[in-house]
A and B are shown apart, each in its own frame.
Chain A
Amino acid sequence: MNGGPPESITFWLQRWHAGSDAALDQLTRLVYADLRRMAARYLQSEQPGHTLQATALVHELYLRISSVQEIDWKGRGQFIAVAAQMMRRILIDHARRRQALKRDGRDAVVTAPRPALDPDVLDVDRALGKLATDYPRHAQVVELRFFGGLRSPEIAQTLGLSLRTVERDWQFARAWLQNEVGGF
C-alpha cells in the first residue's frame, strides 16, 4: 500500500498477535483510514472509460500482510476479513452519497444513462446480506472477492478452506446474486 508506512501495520499486527487487544483497535483505525483515503483518491481520479487495474486495495493489503512471517494464518485471515469489511463499508458510503446527489435532481428530465451490465454496489450489498442468512460461508467468500478483490487461492488461505470449496462457493454465490440483483 502506497498510503502509509508499512512498518506501522506490521508493528501493530505483531503486537496484536502477541495478545494486545489495544493493538487491534489501533490497527483497525490505521487500516481504515488508509483504505478510505486511497479509495477516495481512486474513485475521484477515475476517468470515465478507463480500464481499471484489477488490483484492489484490500488485495494489496493482503499481499503485504502475507509477507509478515511471524503471524499465523488464523490471525492474518481474521485481519484480512476485517479489511474486506471495511472496504465494503467505504464503498457503500460512497455509493450512498452518490445516490443522494442523484436524488437532488430527481425532478429533472436528465437521467444518468445506466450502463446495462453493471450492478449497483448498494444492491449487491443488500443481496449479500440476504445471502449470509442461508449461506454465511459463501457470503464471506463474496465479501473477500467482490469487496476485497482477493483471488480464489488467497481466499482459500484466508478462510482456511480448500481451493475447490472456494471456487464452488463462488460459482453458487455468483448465480445466487445474479438471480437476486438480476435484470441488468
Chain B
Amino acid sequence: MKSAGSDQGLDPARIEAVFHEAADLEQAEQAAYLVRACGGDVRLESAVRALLDAGRNAATVWDRSALELEARHSALAAHTPRPDEFFGPYRIVRRIAAGGMSLVYEAIRDDTEFHKRVAIKFVQHGIGDAAGIEHFRSERQILAELEHPYIARLLDGGTTEDGLPYIVMEYVAGVPIDRFVAERELSLGERLTLFLDVCDAVQYAHRHLVVHRDVKPANILVTSDGVPKLLDFGIAKMLAGDARAQATTVHALTPEYASPEQVLGRTVGTGSDIYSLGVLLFVLLANRLPYRADSTRAADLVRAICEEEPLWQPAGLIHGDLQSILARALRKEPERRYLSVEQFAADIHRYIAGLPVSARPDTYGYRLRKFVVRRALPLAAVCALAIAIAGGTLSTLRQSRRAERRFEEVRSLAHSILFEIYDSISQLTGSVSARRLVVSRAQQYLDSLAREAGDDPGLTRELAESYLRLGDVMGRPYTPNLGDTAGALATYQKALTLLERESARHRDDTALQEELSEAYMNVAVIFMRQKKAPESMAAATRGIAVIEPLTKRFPRSAVYNEKLAHAYMRLGQGQDVAANQTGASISAKQQVVATYRKALAVLEAGGPHDEPFWQVRLSTMYFYVGYPLGSLGDRTGDVRFYQEALDSALKGDAINRRLIAAQPDEVNFMRRLADGLADIGTLRWKCCRDLTGALHDLEEARNGFQKVRDRDPQNLEARRDVANVYHNLGIVFDKANRATEALDASRKALEMYEELGRTDPTNRENAGYLAEVRARIAALERAPGTSR
C-alpha cells in the first residue's frame, strides 16, 4: 500500500493545504497547479496527486458506516457454505461454479451405505431478496417434475438456517458440449448424434410445458461416457399454470445463444429453445457462432441476432441440407422455425439417413418479406427494451415504498414511448406490428397512471395529451394508423373527460382550451367514421365554441385560425353525413357547402400561405367544398354544380402539385395528390363527359395509391385508397356504359373492401362502400354486357 501522509520529511499540514487547494480546482487545472504549488518537490507532488486520485475513487465507498460494512461482511461469511459444513445430510466439498444468481458446490452424502456426489445450488449472496428466492423455488419446482436421462436430476432440496433455499442435484462430472466435441474430435455423425440426444432432453422438457430459455454449451455437460446432461433450469419457465411466471422478467442471459424474441423481450415460447438449439448445432458444426466475428459488443450482437442472416462462411461441417436445416431453426420469426424440437430432430435424422429434409432453402418470397420486416427492427428493439424495463417497474408500482419515484418513472416512460419512440417508428415504412406493440403497452401505462393520478392538474393534462396521442396512433382517420377505430374513440373520450374537468377550472388557460378543442375534433372525426353524424356535429360545434373566442382574441393567430377552419370542416362533414341520412335535401347540402366555405374563408384570410402545412389545409378545403357540390350535381342533374366542384378541386390540385414538386418522396403528398386526382377524374366525367380525361386522372390516382400502399402493405388507409379508386373507376366505366371494365374494377374494389372489413369490422364507412360496390356489381351482372 502506498503511503502518502506519513512520508518522512513531508509536512502533513502542507500536504493537506495543497490537497485542498487542488481539490477545489477543475481536474484539468490540477496538474498545473500542483507543479506550481510544490515548486519542484516531487515527493510532495506525488503524495498529493495520489490523494487526489484516491479522493475521486472514494466518493461513495466511505459513505457507508462501519456497522453497515461489518454487517455485510458478516452476513456474507455466514451465508457462504464452508467445506465440511453440512446441509442436511450433504457435506460440502468445494465450490464448482458461481453464476449470476447462484453458487454451486460439490457435496457428498455421507450415509453409511453409500457415498454419493451431488451438486448443491444456493442463492447467490446479496441476491437473497424475495424475487431471487422465488425464482429459485420455481427452478426447484420445475426440476422436480422432470426426470430424463439427459437432464440433471433434482435429488433433494432444503432451506439453510438463514432461510435461504438450496437445491441438491445430480452431480455431473463432465465438460461443456462444445469442448467435448472439440477435444474428442468427434466426426460429423457423432456430433449430430450427440446433438440429437440434447434435442431429446429439450423436447422432453417441452412436453412437460417447460421452456429452458438458456440452452448453451455451458449448460450442457457431457460425461466421459458421452452422455449429455442438460443443466440449469434457473431461468426456465412453465408454459402453463403459475401466472407470475408469465410476467416479463429481464434476465442476464447469454445473448450469443438467445433468440431474437428473447433479446427483444417478447413472449418466449418453445420456439426460443429451438433457435438456441440451432445456434448450438451451428457452433458444434462450424466451431463458431453464426454471427460475424465483430459482433462482440452487446449492441452489435443484438443487431446481428435480430437482423442479420447467419454467416455461412467459413462453413466448417455445415454442408448442403444442413444449411437449410440450420437456416430454418435460426429464422428470426419463431413461427417460421421448426414447429417443434421433434420436427427439428426428425430433419437431422433424415439428413443422417440420406433422405430429403423438410427444410427448404430460403425462397425469394421469404427474403423479400424479411427485407420489409428488417427495417423496423432496430427501433422495435429499442421499444422492447424500454417496455421490458417499464414492465418491471410497473408491476411493483403499487407495492413499492418508493411509489412516488416509480410513478414518475412510469410517467416519463409512457410519455417517451408515445412521443419519441412512436414518432421514430412511424417515420419508417413497414412498421405496423412494432407500432401495435408500442401502443398496447402505452395504453396499459396510461390507464394505470390514470388510476393512480388522483387530482393532480399537471398530470391530468399530461395524461389527456397522451391519450389524445394514443388515440391518433390507434385510429386517427386520414393519417397512418392501426385501424382500431373503436379503440381510438374510447381513448379520445378518456382524454375529453380529463380535459373538460380541467378546463372548467381554468377558463383563461388558452393552451388548455386548445387541447380541449383538439379533443372534440378528434372525437368528431371518429364519430364521422362511424357515420354517427349527430354525435359528430355536436362534438364539432363544441369545438367551434371553444376555439372561436380565441380567434376573436387573437385574430392573426395561424394556430387558432387553423383550428377554427378545421372545426368548421368537421362540422360540415357532420352536416353532410346527416344530410345524406335524411334524404339529402338541396338546402341541407347547400348548408354543407356554406360551412365548408366558412372554413375556406378562415384559411384564406389568415395564415402562412407559403408554408406546406398551410397549403395542405387550403388544398384540402378546396376539395371539400367540391364534395357537396358534386352531390348536388348528382341530385339535381345540374352540371353547373359539377363545374363549380371541379373548379374548386382543380385549385386544390394545383396546390398539391406544388407540394409534391417540392418534396417528391413525401408519402403524405403522394397520397394527397392521388386522392385529389381520384375526385377530379370522377368530376371530369360527370360535368363534361370527358371519359379520356377522367380515366387518365383515375389511373394516375391508382398508380399513386399503389405506390403508397407498396411502401407499407399493412397500412389500412393506403389499402382503402386503392379500393376507393377502383370503386370510382367502376362508377365511371359504368356511367360510360363500359360494363366489362366497370365490372372488373368493381370486383377488384369489392375484394379489397371485404378484406378491409375483416381487418377493421367496426368501420362503417367501409361497410357503406361495400354495400355500394355490391349493388353495382349485382346491377352490372343482371344487365348482360350490352356495350363493351
Contacts and interface: CB of A to CB of B under 8 A. Distances in A.
B54 A91 contact: no
Contact of B92 (A110, A119, A135, A183): A110
B77 A121 contact: no
Nearest to A107: B83
A112 B77 contact: yes
A175 B57 CA distance: 8
A134 B12 contact: yes
B511 interface: no
B65 A134 contact: no
B94 interface: yes
A88 interface: yes
Contacts of B88: none
B263 interface: no
Given A113-B125, A172-B19, A48 B77 contact: no
Contact of A130 (B6, B92, B163): B6
Interface stretch (A19-27, A62-70, A95-103): A95-103
A155 interface: no
B657 interface: no
A178 interface: yes
Contacts of B73: 95, 98, 118, 120-121
A145 B64 CA distance: 9
A61 interface: no
A56 interface: yes
B65 A115 contact: no
A128 to B, nearest CB: 10
A49 interface: yes
A180 interface: yes
Contact of A91 (B50, B66, B128): B66
B352 interface: no
A47 B75 contact: yes
A12 interface: no
Interface string B52-70: 1111011001101111111
If over half of A's interface residues share one DSSP class (helix, strand or loop), that class is named, otherwise mixed; here it is: helix
B80 interface: yes
B62 A94 contact: no
Interface string A142-184: 0001110100000000000000000010011011111111111
Contacts of A71: none
Contact of A57 (B4, B67, B83, B126): B67
B13 to A, nearest CB: 9
A181 B4 CA distance: 12
Given A56-B65, A56-B67, A46 B54 contact: no
B70 A109 contact: no
Contacts of B57: 178
Contacts of B162: 47-48
B67 A149 contact: yes
Interface of B: 1-6, 12, 16, 19-20, 23, 50-55, 57-58, 61-62, 64-84, 92, 94-95, 98, 105, 125-129, 132, 162-163
Interface of A: 39, 42-43, 46-49, 52, 54, 56-57, 87-88, 91, 94-95, 98, 101-102, 105, 107-110, 112-115, 117-121, 124, 130-131, 133-135, 145-147, 149, 168, 171-172, 174-184
14 contacts: A48-B75, A49-B128, A117-B61, A118-B73, A146-B66, A149-B65, A174-B55, A176-B4, A179-B4, A179-B50, A179-B53, A180-B3, A182-B1, A183-B1
